[in-house]
Every structure is written in C-alpha cells, then in structure tokens.
Amino acid sequence: MTTLLAFLATLGILIVVHELGHYAAARWAGVRILHFSVGFGRPLWKRTDRRGTVWALATIPLGGYVRFLDEREAPVADNEKDQAFNRQPLGKRAVIVAAGPIANFILAIVLLWGLNLHGYSTLRPVLASAPAGTPAAMAGLQGGDWVLGLNGTPIDNWQTLAEGLLATNKTDARLEIEDANGHLREVVLPSDSLQMAAQGSEPLRALGLIPGHPTLPPVIGSVVADGPAAQAGLQARDRVLAVNAEPVPNWQTLVHHIRQTTQGDLTLTIERAGQPLTLRVTPQFVSERGQRLARIGVTPHMDPVILERMRTVHQDGPVEGMVHAIERTWDLSIFSLRMMGRMLMGEVSVKNLSGPISIADYAGQSAQAGWIPFVGFLALISISLGVLNLLPIPMLDGGHLLYYLLEWIGGKPVPDRIQELAQRVGIALLLTLMTFALYNDLARLLAT
C-alpha cells in the first residue's frame, strides 16, 4: 500500500506542477484554457470555474494535459480569436510550451533547496571487499577503502561516485583512496572496464564497487515486530555467540550463516544480561537477485562513533542552499542528457531505462525510508521529466519547440502534413522506449 500511495503521490505532484506551468504561461499570454486534466480517460471528478475552464481528475494517472482554445481543433468565434493559441505570436507559443518542463526544473530546485536548508545525511563511499576478477579487485581496491575523489573532483557519497563513473566515457577513472589505516593512494580503473560495466543494469556492481560496512559486533539493535526473531524471543542488545554451534565473531558472520541456510530451523546461542541462552528460530525465505535467502528480522546495534564515520551531513544557508540546488539541478540535467546520448550510441545499455513499475518501487522504498529520501527522489524524477519533455521528439514539448524553431528560421509554420508524419514517428519512438522500459521493469521484477 505504501508503494502504491507513494507512486500516486509522485505522479500527482509531477503532473500537476508540469501542467500548471503550461496553465500559468497561457494565462500570462492571454490564451483561453478550456480543459485542465490530471490523468487520461473517463473523468472521476470535474468542475468548471468562472473562466470556463474545466478541471478534471481522470482514471488513468499516467500523465495529464491542458487544452487551449485553438482554431485548428474547433471553430472559434470572432470575438474570441485573440484568445486562441494558434493566433499568438511565436514567442508566446514557445513560452507556453516550454513552461511545463521549466516548472519541473523549478520544483526540483525548490525541493533540493529545502533539503539543503533542513540538512540531510548520506553514506560515504566506503567499499566492501571487491569480488575476485572484477576491475576493482584487479586494481587493488580492498574492503574498508574510502573513495575521496574521482579525477580530481571530491566525492563524499555513493550517488556522486556513481554519476561520476557513468559520466566518464573514454578516459580512465582515477580514484583517490584512503584505506582503513588512513593512508592515501591513487587507484586507476581503465576506461575499457568502465565501458563494459556501462553495458549492464548495475555498473557499480559490475566494476566491483560495493557499499561496505564496518566490522560490527554480533549485537542485535532492533527486532522486527512479529518476525521470526521476535517470535523466537530474541531481544534488542542480545549478543549472538553461535549459530548451529558455529562461532559468530561479528555481525557479518551472523548474516553469512543465516543467508546460507536452505531449510529448517536455526539454533542461536546468545548472551543476555551476562547469561547464555539457546533459542530456535524458523527463518523466512525471500528471493533476492535470483537467489533464495533466509532472513530472521533483526538489525545490528550501531556504535554512534562508527555510524558517524560512515555518513556525511550536508546543510546550507539560504543563499548557498539555493546556489547548490540550482547547480545540482543543472548537473543532473546534463548527466541525463549525456546518458541518453550514450545509450543511443550503444555505449550504455538500454537496461538502465526504467518504467512505471521501477519508479513505483523506488517511490515506495524512498517513502518507507523517510520524507527526506522521498523528497530527494521526487526532485530527481522531476528533473528527469523536465529533460525528457524537452527532447526534440514529436508528441513531446520539445517536439513542438522544434517546430517553432523551424518556423522562426523559415519564416512560416511547418506544414501540417510534415507535422502529421513526424507525429507518427514520434509515437513509434515513444512506444519503443516504453516497451524497453516495461521489459526492463518486468525483468527486474522476475529476477527478484
């Protein structure tokens, strides 16, 4: 239910903001607005305001539209022709069309600004041991290494590391590393390894760059209500000494023993208030990355000192926060365009395309993690929507802006026949992209 509600909230906010951009620009230009709809299909609710605009909420929430008075769609009375969209100067028409994507960028800037003012924490890029044979392992990266920089640019979280590596195309990636003992060194990941990793759906994992965790004692921090551990009687602050008589020196070993279980109960020897105790736990089994894994529903106790080393906190003042929000929106927009270009060139796999199922999943995960991750996710999707709509593809806002550019260059509108043919090409292209995205969604869903 959380996933569904988060997905609907995401769509609703982004669609309303986008269409309000068109609406506000049309009002400014003096264009009469006939219809404002969130969603497509049969209306679930609608009302008409004093200006004659019909506001509607429709059954299919995958988009929305604003319909203007336009002589190309229906006859317009002589006394209203000055309010028709098609009668507006080229500049005003372009502003109305561009206002939707611009509204999405403004929303992202406002959301990121709010996060910068409030402050938020992110995980530092501390690495786990790289799997044998991966580029990271061959380059000498080790568990506990901390990535400080990439090609001279400071790196303080996993997201900026991922973006930086994906943006690195035909050059080597030079990582500035601090090891667990505080020693600095430089590690190089060859460009051919980066290009090969970009062909998969999980480039960082293909490179061998996996989030690491500090060595933790096998002490339970919290127990999931009604989970296997709770039903067996495990409590917070219990120290696990052994699993099926196998010693457990740290939390990672505990997780390993639990995940290697294929069937049957687990016998846990624990220490509680200085006294040994034996409990039997019946694990739950889940599918993850195509594997059947056991879980018992516990989280580790985190030492605040260790936790502080693993995370970094960002917080800005009003002016600095706005500047950083604008810079971040710009950087993510350029990054999105570069990735789309590399995808078209075959340098990045189309497996990276995500559709509504993945977006709903990410929305649910971010909402469950708290309002700060959800706001960050919403800003990211708003930027993506703005960039997508500005692409020069017929059916999208960018396609209309392309027509206006050609009209400005040629001095006359693009012929209707050419626009009609372009619309068909645009529909085919969008359907192809949607098919790839949906296929990727289903492949990820079936893999888990």
Claim to verify: residue 294 and residue 353 sit in the same structural domain: no
What are 368-410's pLDDT values in tens digits?
Answer: 777 888 898 899 999 999 998 998 888 889 999 999 999 899 8
Claim to verify: residue 149 and residue 171 sit in the same structural domain: yes
Domain boundary among 250, 270, 301: 301
| For the chain, percent of residues with pLDDT exceeding 90 | 28
Claim to verify: residue 176 and residue 309 sit in the same structural domain: yes
Domain harbouring 233, CATH code: 2.30.42.10
Q: What is the pLDDT of residue 143?
A: 81
Is-contact 68 32, C-beta < 8 A?
A: yes
What are 69-87's pLDDT values in tens digits?
Answer: 998 888 888 888 899 998 9
361: containing domain: 101-119+315-448
Report the C-alpha dihedral over residues 106, 107, 111, 113, rounded to 10 degrees: 10
Mean pLDDT of the chain: 85
Is-contact 71 64, C-beta < 8 A?
A: no
| pLDDT beyond 60 at 146 | yes
Q: Is residue 66 part of a domain?
A: no
Q: Is residue 24 part of a domain?
A: no
Q: How far is CA 58 from CA 17, 44, 63, 397, in A?
A: 16, 5, 10, 21
18-22, 97-101, 276-280: the lowest-pLDDT one:
276-280
Q: What is the pLDDT of residue 128?
A: 83
The amino acid sitting at 418 is I
Claim to verify: residue 229 and residue 246 sit in the same structural domain: yes
Claim to verify: residue 439 and residue 326 sit in the same structural domain: yes
Q: What is the pLDDT of residue 415?
A: 87
Claim to verify: residue 292 and residue 248 sit in the same structural domain: yes
Cα 264 to Cα 257: distance, rounded to the nearest angstrom: 13
Angle of the 397-410 helix axis to the 416-447 helix axis, nearest 10: 150
Q: What is the pLDDT of residue 353?
A: 67
User: φ, ψ for residue 281 (rounded to 5)?
Assistant: -120, 130
Q: Is residue 84 part of a domain?
A: no
Average of per-residue pLDDT across 75-102: 92
| pLDDT beyond 90 at 171 | no
| pLDDT beyond 60 at 447 | no
Claim to verify: residue 334 and residue 444 sit in the same structural domain: yes
Average of per-residue pLDDT across 60-68: 87
Domain boundary among 281, 313, 345: 313
Q: Is residue 343 part of a domain?
A: yes
Claim to verify: residue 325 and residue 415 sit in the same structural domain: yes
Claim to verify: residue 167 and residue 262 sit in the same structural domain: no
Q: What is the pLDDT of residue 445?
A: 58
Average of per-residue pLDDT across 126-138: 86
Catalytic positions, written as ranges: 19
Average of per-residue pLDDT across 93-103: 95
Q: Is residue 86 part of a domain?
A: no
Domain boundary among 301, 328, 344: 301
Claim to verify: residue 263 and residue 364 sit in the same structural domain: no
Claim to verify: residue 329 and residue 412 sit in the same structural domain: yes
User: Which two tokens mark 286?
Assistant: 């889940």
Total domains in the fold of the chain: 3
Q: Where are the alpha helices (DSSP H) in 311-370?
A: 318-344, 356-369
Q: What is the pLDDT of residue 115?
A: 92
| pLDDT beyond 60 at 289 | no
Most confident of 117-131, 227-241, 340-354: 227-241
Going by pLDDT thresholds of 50, 70 and 90, the confidence category of residue 365 is confident
Q: Is residue 90 part of a domain?
A: no
Claim to verify: residue 173 and residue 308 sit in the same structural domain: yes
* pTM, rounded to two decimals: 0.77
| pLDDT beyond 80 at 448 | no
- If one compares 289 and 323, the residue with the highest pLDDT of the two is 323
